[in-house]
Structure 1
Amino acid sequence: MSRIITVGAAQMGAIQRADNRPAVVKRMVELMREAASHRCDLIVYPELTLTTFFPRWWMENQDDVDAFFEREMPSNETAPLFNEAAKLGIGFSFGYAELTPEGRHFNTALLVDKTGRQVGKYRKIHLPGHAEHEPWRAFQHLEKRYFEVGDRSWGVWNALGGNMGMMICNDRRWPESYRMMGLQSVEMILLGYNTPRHNPPAPDHDRLSEFHNQLVMQAGAYQNGTWVVGVAKCGVEEGCEMIGASSIVAPTGEIIGQALTQGDELIVARCDLDLTRSYKASIFNFEMHRQPEHYGRIVQQRGAVPPEGRSEG
């Protein structure tokens, strides 16, 4: 029997520094209503949906930094999104900058069910970029300065009829992000990203930005027998071009839906969660075929790392 979940990948166009949260939430609600008209069960928004990508600026005043963070969720400004979701009976996931009551700063993604109840939270682990000011760059990428490394690992939640997981942007480039959820029988990974086209330390990579984006999502989906819903905030934002190509990827590794623009755009796909089963039960049956107990011994025999207890010095 098929378990169909209809998903809307809600790509967002550029959000400028002058754009306030109510204006952004209004755009999100419009995409949500469009998703509901297509009978979507779930709509997925990008990383740091509520603001411009502020790590591109060096800021020394902590109050200036904290202005981009959310102290509560929902807040007065984001409540319309939660209220509309409950009214329409649609689940959603989105990314935002989280400032905890203890004063900790995280790049966070939230999963909300069809009643407006928060059922899952993930905090980004693989923080890219740098922590110190590098004025030679056309723009900064200061996630290591403004965020702490996530403290919750990769969770999987039974919600919306399946096993749902989340990751954020740079997490998608690392196979352990997918595998940690794959080992928990994840069936759909929700992934938001804000990815500049230009990579200042390695500009020769620029022409491959979309290719690498698709490559890692397709590989992660196939190697873990899971759906991946990758959603961009894109376009030219404060002079910085960010890639789009928001995609819905099947457990086969095939892209079944992809954005065509660099603006607000909804991609809809009917995703059969049972399609994951043939991959989890056969070629990627981890219990049967995965042999982690041998990994360390094999690496040591090949001389890549010193045996345990032996000094490299």
Structure 2
Amino acid sequence: MPRILKVAAAQVGAVHRDADRQETLFRLISLLDQAASQKVQLVLYPECTFTTFFPRHLFTSQSELDTYFEHNDDLLSSPSTAPLFQKAAEYGIDISVGFAERTEDGTGYNTCIYFSASQGKIINKYRKVHLPGTVEPFSDPEAVNQLEKRYFTPGNLGFPAFRAPNLLPSSSITTKQSSGTTGLVERKEEQGKGDPVLGMMICNDRRWPEVWRSYALQGAELLLLGYNTVAHNEQLIRRNQQTGKLVQQSNSYMNSLFSISAARCGLDDNHYNLISGSAIINPEGHVLAESTTKDDELVVAEIDLEECRQGREKTFDFGRHRRTEAYARIVDQVGVVEPELL
């Protein structure tokens, strides 16, 4: 049975450090308006959706830094963010949004959430685990800094997959109790049915295959990835959108799932060149749709989650082919340890 969704990446162009929050919010809602006109059911926004990517700057004023953070409980009520969720609920479109989160104890996280329009609430949260960059800025005043390690704490929520309700016309299934089951592996006849199984990651997480596999082992059918990526950073690494897309394509294939990536791109502050490359990829690693600009752009595709079965029941049937007894090094070791010299 086909399990068809119409999904979109809401790519966002340049957002400068002095950008007006309400103007940026208007742009985000305009993308949602376009999605509604095309009958899209799920829209992904980029990392740190509501502001410029502030971790490239060194802030000496705590009060100025605080203006870039949101309190999770305030997302649905703050005038700087709430109208986007209200419009999503009005249209009946689920959205995933990235933001800088400040908890009650003052901890900062690079976070994204999933808002279910049918439920009228946030149903899942992810905090970025793989923080790139440095704590201190580079000595070169012309350098492009990446200070996520200064402003954020590594995520503490792991990689929980979740089901998004009411996206499919009929997703209810009848399950049968099975005696002797361990609960570790879902019954085969139930896999690939019901509400879509989703997962979220943020920017640098996409370069770590462990993230993708963790979600795939929970049956994730669609992964959502928002990012802000500088094209050229001599102190760290040079990047281009083709490399970013290659990571997305290869991991989608190796885990038999769809993925959507949404970029914050363009020339921020007329100095910071961010790659675009927003794309929707199928379980064979093929590009279904991708951005053609470095501006605000809605990238749309219709996907059939049933296509995840091809890989999962054959080449990447984890239950039959994975050999965990051979993988201990992956979780027991952090840095590189080479064999001894001859």
Structure 1 and Structure 2 fold alike (TM over 0.5)? yes
Secondary structure in 1 aligned to 2:35?
Answer: helix
Identity of aligned residues (%): 42
Structure 1 moving runs of 4+ over 6 Å = 297-300
Amino acid corresponding to residue 145 of structure 2 in structure 1: Q
Give 1:178's aligned residue.
212
Retained in 2: the 8 A contact 1:196–1:242? Answer: yes
In structure 2, what is the Cα distance between the partners aligned to 1:264 and 1:151? 32
In structure 1, what is the Cα distance between the partners aligned to 2:267 and 2:199? 29
Q: In the alignment, does 2:291 pair up with 1:259?
A: yes
Retained in 2: the 8 A contact 1:65–1:146? Answer: no
The residue correspondences of 1:102-121 to structure 2 (distance < 5 A) are: 102-115=105-118, 116-121=120-125
- Shift of the alpha carbon at 1:133? 1.9
Q: In the alignment, does 2:75 pair up with 1:73?
A: yes
Retained in 1: the 8 A contact 2:266–2:273? Answer: yes
In structure 2, what is the Cα distance between the partners aligned to 1:298 and 1:275? 29
CA 1:154–1:14: 2 relative to 1, 3 Å: same
Q: Deviations over 1:21-70 (max 9, x none)?
A: 22111111111011011111101110001000111111133222211100
Retained in 2: the 8 A contact 1:299–1:305? Answer: no
Superposition RMSD in Å: 2.0
- Shift of the alpha carbon at 1:117? 1.5
In structure 1, what is the Cα distance between the partners aligned to 2:15 and 2:294? 12
Q: Deviations over 1:195-229 (max 9, x none)?
A: 000122355x34xx122101110011011111010
CA 1:177–1:297: 2 relative to 1, 3 Å: closer
In structure 1, what is the Cα distance between the partners aligned to 2:318 and 2:226? 27
Retained in 1: the 8 A contact 2:12–2:264? Answer: yes
Give 2:64's aligned residue.
64
In structure 1, what is the Cα distance between the partners aligned to 2:330 and 2:106? 44
- Shift of the alpha carbon at 1:298? 11
CA 1:179–1:24: 2 relative to 1, 3 Å: same
Amino acid corresponding to residue 163 of structure 2 in structure 1: N
Secondary structure in 2 aligned to 1:274?
Answer: helix
In structure 1, what is the Cα distance between the partners aligned to 2:331 and 2:3? 41
Secondary structure in 2 aligned to 1:220?
Answer: helix
Secondary structure in 1 aligned to 2:40?
Answer: coil
- Count of aligned residue pairs for this structure pair: 301
Give 2:172's aligned residue.
none
Q: Give TM-score, length-normalised by structure 1.
A: 0.92
Q: Deviations over 1:68-97 (max 9, x none)?
A: 100222222211111111111110011000
Q: Deviations over 1:243-277 (max 9, x none)?
A: 00100000110011000000000011001111101
In structure 2, what is the Cα distance between the partners aligned to 1:167 and 1:299? 20
1:187 to 221, 226, 241: 221
In structure 2, what is the Cα distance between the partners aligned to 1:97 and 1:217? 24
Secondary structure in 1 aligned to 2:254?
Answer: helix
Which runs of 5 or more structure 1 residues have no equivalent in the other structure? 307-313
Which runs of 5 or more structure 2 residues have no equivalent in the other structure? 168-194
Q: In the alignment, does 2:132 pair up with 1:128?
A: yes
Retained in 2: the 8 A contact 1:44–1:190? Answer: yes
In structure 2, what is the Cα distance between the partners aligned to 1:28 and 1:297? 43
CA 1:78–1:297: 2 relative to 1, 3 Å: closer
Secondary structure in 1 aligned to 2:262?
Answer: strand
